[in-house]
Amino acid sequence: MGRLEGQVAVITGAGSGIGRAAAVEFAREGARIVAADLRGADDTIEQLGTEAEAVTVDVTRYDQVEKMLRTAVDRFGRVDLLYNNAGIPQSFTPFEESTDELFDRIFDVNVKGVFYGCRAVVPHMKRQGGGVILNTASTAGIRPRPGLAVYNASKGAVITLTKSLAAELAPFRIRVVSICPVATETPMLSTFLGEHEIEDARKRFIATVPWGRLNKPEDIARAAAFLASADAEMVTGTAFEVDGGRDI
């Protein structure tokens, strides 16, 4: 029996990268999946071999986030796990060149998207007697890099929101954990490292990771499956680093 046998997991950003890997891993551990993505997630659920539903969701729209969770409850009867994974990167930008549009876009997706997911799911979890919320943050929220001030701040906000909710929701048996990956081999990596001379940028970044490589989506997915499971019952409020030692 898998660690998530019979549970219902809703995952945003599930169309690719970390979200898709998490959907595959959670399904392997026995969960039923609602895979949500701005561009849809039909390709993801075709890989799962379990009961699953794909939904198209813009996490910056609260009405769509609520509908996503209603879909899970209508289809499966409950929501045991919400993984707020959808997010966007920032390309290198000197701070004084950061625009209102850049700030609003990154905070709308990376912070408000997490806030909306948490706000919408908490009533469901309180009614059913508990649950787990995982929020994708980043090592950038712990060890910021120059030129990414807005992105760094957005991930720091997710970490603090997670801690706040963990303290407030523990009496309701709701655990809340942020996951902090180092740079990961996903379609967003080129934006993070820069479109030009990406291989040189990759080598320079890897040199800062003691373990000697970047994350694979599966690294984060396996960590998320552990955090979602009963094996992690005493883990809440933590900024869980999956970073090969970068934040040491």
Query: Rounded to a whole number, what is the distance in angstroms from the first to the last CA of the chain?
Result: 36
Q: Which residues of 69-79 are buried (b: 16+ CB within 10 A; e: fewer)?
A: bebbbeebebb
The C-alpha atoms of residue 81 and residue 74 are separated, in whole angstroms, by: 15
Q: Is position 83 annotated as part of the catalytic site?
A: no
From 62, 83, 116, 151, active-site residue: 151
Q: Rounded to an integer, what is the distance from CA 59 to the centroid of its chain?
A: 12
Neighbouring C-beta atoms of residue 46, cutoff 10 Å: 10
Write out the two tokens for 71: 């879909």
Which active-site residues does the annotation give? 151
